[in-house]
Structure 1
Amino acid sequence: MRIGIIGAGIGGLATALSLEAAGFRDITVHERTEEIRGLGVGLNLLPHAIRELTELGLRERVEALGVAPETLVYMNRFGQHIWSEPRGLGAGYRWPQLSVHRGRLQLALRDAVVERLGDVIRLGHRLVGAQSEADGSETVRFAAAADDGEVEARYDLVIGADGIHSALRALRYPQEGAPPWSGLTLWRGVADAPVLVDGRTMIMAGDGEQKFVAYPLGAPVDGRQRLNFIAERRGVGPFESLRDRRRGVGPFESLRDRADWNRSVDPAPIAALFSDWVFDGLDVPAIIANADEILEYPMVDRDALPQWTFGRTTLVGDAAHAMYPNGSNGGSQAILDARTLAFHLGAAMAADGRAAAADGGLTAIDTALAGYEQARRPAMTALLAGTRATGPERVMLLAAERAPQGFARIDDVIPRAEREEIANAYKRAAGFDPSILNERASLTVGAPA
């Protein structure tokens, strides 16, 4: 079977590795950029994603990239404790949670793809067209930078893993337009800072109007460590970028019709927004001011789709269900998509690789795509709605609504049972409730039930 994957980000590379593990070898990955540079900042891989990477034989190399956080703490904007919970192995999972640099993870997955599949990544290929053929195959066209023209390829299956601005999704939903902006602006960065608590703690502080998130990306060295952070503010427009300053272009003019800002900005005005956020052991403005670089993003997502699969094409990751970062779950869900798709495809081909499936006259590929979408799309539709309601971070919103000037006892504001249920409900929705995850069947084709 000839399989084409559009996009060499986390989702696309995880899809290639999952398909290879399921027995497929004729795989090509098309990436629009001319170089995989391993850019970005930090991300969290939750235990359900680490389970899948473990079963792909990648756990050790991913663990070497980052830190396994042991505690997650929520605070209000005054630094008062709202809720904390253990994470990873300490929470009863069989797999850890890992905080890693996105770029380093991407490069590690790229290297694994090359090791297992060879030279299958085509750079400088931007998808411009897709057409279903009479035999059920798909012809895809790319604007190719190296050839200064277009190239065509024909596949039995095409998988769109090309992110929130997916070209394949746009071909299927041409009227969708740009992702809707929530009104929040995010500034992401990595900084060398004093050790955060015990060196293995994630902190989320704030409310629905302003928030700061920080977690370690490396082990402490001489009382300091690398921290990933996200600063967030509602109702603040984009700041002047360093690039726009050089070009003499104003910030709003330069952003006209741009959906992803993703541009380097001066840290000083962002640090000023958090000037009084200095808590015990957490100096927010100092962390921001000390960042290597700050990248500015709008907080955007995509509306849920009624259908991911058209013919022999389907979507995974942000191309299918881009969501807000509430819950730190986007990258993990892309890996779950990849493994679920490969599982259904491998199982269907093993059951009937040549003839039509039993009911409805569908081929094995069509059966697999239907099974994949049934398994993932309703769950991701519900999860997307949950992230728009702020997911597990709802405890911070409730604390701000019920005690806007702070509190003496959090139990008088949000009873413990209510806080526990908010945390547990999100785990159930996202598929990483410990008891369910530890006991569910493997997504490795042919593994024992």
Structure 2
Amino acid sequence: MTGLRVAVVGAGIGGLTAAIAMRANGIDATVYEQAHELKALGAGVAIATNGSRILSRLGVGDAVAAIAGPVTHYQFRTWQATPIAGEPSTLGFDDPARTWCLHRGEFQKALADALPAGALQLGRSCVGASEDSDGVHVEFADGTTVDADLLVGADGIHSRLQGKVTRAAEPVSEGIMAYRGLIPAERLHGIADMNASSMWLGPAQSFLAYPVSAGRFLNIVAFVPTNLSVAESWTAPGDVAELAAAYRDWDPKVSAIIGEMDSTFRWGIYDREPLNHWSTDRITLLGDSAHAVTPHLGQGANQAIEDAMTLAVALREADAGDLGPRLRRYEDLRMERTGLVRRQARAAGRIYRSTELGPRAQAEQLRAILDSVAIDTYDAERVAEQAGLAACGQPASAVTSNR
């Protein structure tokens, strides 16, 4: 270990990956999570090539791949079932062979299991932090405190630590909410392709389905317009009858899938205007705490994973005295990338729900967006190294395990 002590607040995908990546780079990192247990929340998450590449290098790839849905191809159709880019589709988010469609709770557990005993502390709700030239002092609701050299805020879109770094920015609604749910595979009776990530595009709304949990469940995300303030939560209850009514005239397969749902949850869709900076000399932000993004490119978790690896590279061989410049290099590199992803995710959502574009135009514009984000080819670790973030030019292979 380098001797650098890092406290990570938040045991979401970004926070756990950050701790794994920093420990792989010789940094003593501990995650502090307010929940008393990591609950298996019923929500899907797609880890694309830009994320799976990093997780594989960190030695958790096999464990995560084992719980992924068996996606082999993509389907993009209009709301009346017309393919927008042929079938099998010539359009896709990334290489399906290197994409993991996951149950979020199972994924979170796989990451938590990759940390050594004591590196994840549950029931530790951060209520305050202060820094000086000697380090950062972190306070928790249970009265305990921790002293560290660096504090990483990975506590989500409603981050408490964001205000310690810059003026807190409120989440911005897209005017969309999503119904989410899981359906056991045995109930579908061939209704859904359990080897596909399938999306239906329609006027003002869209519908997404893909397998998770090694194919045991189909994950549903149905995006519909709303003028209500809907919580950014995976656990706000919804109404299956309302969901069914919203898709009554769509492809009969969509209605049939909804017909097999017993329950659903409502999820508000928000992002945030870019922050002017993410870091002080002792505190930095990561993932949704720094750059919340709408889910239309499936990049929220992947951008947090990219952040985690970039930060780990920036901290290689660091000492407590030179953290400020390293953190600013980290945020400078990530701001451009995450800003692009935010803009393009919003644009993709508008294309999915367009009332004006025909199928060919939708396919062409989506292809241009996906090309711009370079999901297949973007390598956050290599980009960070080439940008000079790694101290002393030390190659990743000398530090990062399980290549």
TM-score tier by shorter-chain length is: 0.7 to 0.9
CA shift, 1:101, in A, is 0.4
**Map of 2:401 onto structure 1:** none
CA shift, 1:441, in A, is 6.3
CA distance in 2, matches of 1:344, 1:425: 29
**Which AA in structure 1 matches 2:152?**
I
CA distance in 2, matches of 1:162, 1:85: 37
CA shift, 1:20, in A, is 0.7
**Alpha carbons 2:6, 2:30 under 8 Å: kept:** yes
**Map of 1:275 onto structure 2:** 248
**Alpha carbons 1:129, 1:142 under 8 Å: kept:** yes
The alpha-carbon distance between structure 1 residues 234 and 270, as it changes in their structure 2 partners (threshold 3 A), is same
Q: Deviations over 1:64-121 (max 9, x none)?
A: 1012423222222212111233658857xxx6011010100001111111xxx32122
CA shift, 1:442, in A, is 8.5
CA distance in 2, matches of 1:69, 1:437: 22
**Which secondary structure state, in structure 1, belongs to the residue aligned with residue 127 of structure 2?**
strand
Match of 1:176 among 160, 164, 169: 169
CA distance in 1, matches of 2:338, 2:111: 24
CA shift, 1:218, in A, is 4.8
CA distance in 2, matches of 1:427, 1:263: 35
Determine if the alignment matches structure 1 residue 21 to structure 2 residue 28. no
CA distance in 2, matches of 1:89, 1:59: 17
The alpha-carbon distance between structure 1 residues 21 and 171, as it changes in their structure 2 partners (threshold 3 A), is same
The alpha-carbon distance between structure 1 residues 155 and 438, as it changes in their structure 2 partners (threshold 3 A), is closer
The aligned runs of 1:353-368 (5 Å cut-off) are 353=319, 363-368=321-326
CA shift, 1:364, in A, is 3.1
CA distance in 2, matches of 1:87, 1:211: 16
CA distance in 2, matches of 1:218, 1:86: 24
Match of 2:198 among 203, 216, 219: 203
Q: State the superposition RMSD in angstroms.
A: 2.8
Aligned length: 382
**Which AA in structure 2 matches 1:188?**
R
CA shift, 1:24, in A, is 1.4
The aligned runs of 1:44-443 (5 Å cut-off) are 44-83=46-85, 84-85=89-90, 96-113=98-115, 117-135=116-134, 137-144=135-142, 150-173=143-166, 176-177=169-170, 179-192=171-184, 193-195=188-190, 198-207=193-202, 209-218=204-213, 226-235=217-226, 237=228, 260=233, 262-279=235-252, 282=253, 284-346=254-316, 348-349=317-318, 353=319, 363-390=321-348, 395-397=351-353, 400-403=355-358, 410-411=359-360, 414=361, 419-420=363-364, 422-429=366-373, 431-434=374-377, 437=379, 440=382
CA distance in 1, matches of 2:227, 2:122: 37
| More displaced stretch, 179-188 vs 98-107 | 179-188
CA shift, 1:210, in A, is 1.3
**Which AA in structure 1 matches 2:363?**
R
Higher relative contact order (CA 8 A, sep 6+): 2
CA shift, 1:176, in A, is 3.0
CA distance in 2, matches of 1:82, 1:32: 44
Give structure 1 stretches of 5+ with no counterpart: 145-149, 239-254, 355-362, 404-409
CA shift, 1:44, in A, is 0.4
**Which secondary structure state, in structure 2, belongs to the residue aligned with residue 326 of structure 1?**
helix
Task: Give the number of the structure whose alpha-carbon radius of gyration is greater.
Answer: 1
**Which AA in structure 2 matches 1:85?**
T
CA shift, 1:219, in A, is 5.4
The alpha-carbon distance between structure 1 residues 396 and 260, as it changes in their structure 2 partners (threshold 3 A), is closer
The alpha-carbon distance between structure 1 residues 260 and 217, as it changes in their structure 2 partners (threshold 3 A), is closer
Q: Deviations over 1:127-178 (max 9, x none)?
A: 221111232x11121112xxxxx2221110000011111110134345534x
CA distance in 2, matches of 1:218, 1:38: 12
**Alpha carbons 1:394, 1:422 under 8 Å: kept:** no
Determine if the alignment matches structure 1 residue 2 to structure 2 residue 5. yes
CA shift, 1:216, in A, is 1.3
**Which AA in structure 2 matches 1:217?**
V
CA distance in 1, matches of 2:369, 2:275: 23
**Alpha carbons 1:67, 1:218 under 8 Å: kept:** yes
The alpha-carbon distance between structure 1 residues 42 and 131, as it changes in their structure 2 partners (threshold 3 A), is same
**Alpha carbons 2:67, 2:214 under 8 Å: kept:** no
Identity in percent: 31
What is the TM-score with the length of structure 1 in the denominator? 0.77
Q: Deviations over 1:349-402 (max 9, x none)?
A: 2xxx48xxxxxxxx4322321221121112112221222222xx555455x404
CA distance in 1, matches of 2:381, 2:161: 35
CA shift, 1:262, in A, is 3.5
**Alpha carbons 2:127, 2:141 under 8 Å: kept:** yes
CA shift, 1:291, in A, is 2.6
The alpha-carbon distance between structure 1 residues 336 and 175, as it changes in their structure 2 partners (threshold 3 A), is closer
CA distance in 2, matches of 1:194, 1:168: 47
**Alpha carbons 2:42, 2:182 under 8 Å: kept:** no
What is the TM-score with the length of structure 2 in the denominator? 0.85
The alpha-carbon distance between structure 1 residues 105 and 402, as it changes in their structure 2 partners (threshold 3 A), is closer
| More displaced stretch, 284-293 vs 185-194 | 284-293
